[in-house]
Amino acid sequence: MRWLKGLIMAIILLAVLIIGILFATNNQQALPLNLIWFELPEASLSVWLLASLAVGVLLGMLAMSGVYIRLRTLLTRAQRHNQQQRKELDRLRVQEMKELP
């Protein structure tokens, strides 16, 4: 079953690679990127699109890091509480066994 998963992942990776190569070769027009306050130097359209994708991914990861940290903190707190509850339960079980005649 693992080999099937690896084969499917290889096929998907190959398809994405081929699409990326086709995308880059079909978008070779050099153009400057005009941001309202300044103009960036000329580069191919595929470079600007891939750069904007990378910036968007990084900004998305940065935006989600606050949520990730908050959830991680809640998970750690819940695990600590769970461990304390287990210790208390074990202590009560031992105490009950001692009280039995």
Q: Which residue has the higher pLDDT, 31 or 58?
A: 58
Q: Which of 58, 39, 61 is nearest to 50 (CA)?
A: 58
Residue 24 pLDDT level (bands cut at 50, 70, 90):
confident
Measured from the Cβ of residue 48, the count of other Cβ atoms closer than 10 Å reads: 16
Q: Cα(71)–Cα(76) distance, rounded to whole angstroms?
A: 9
pTM as predicted:
0.58
Structure tokens at 89: 């339960």
Say whether pLDDT at 101 is over 70.
no
Provide the 8-state DSSP code for 36: T
* Range 51-71 average pLDDT: 91
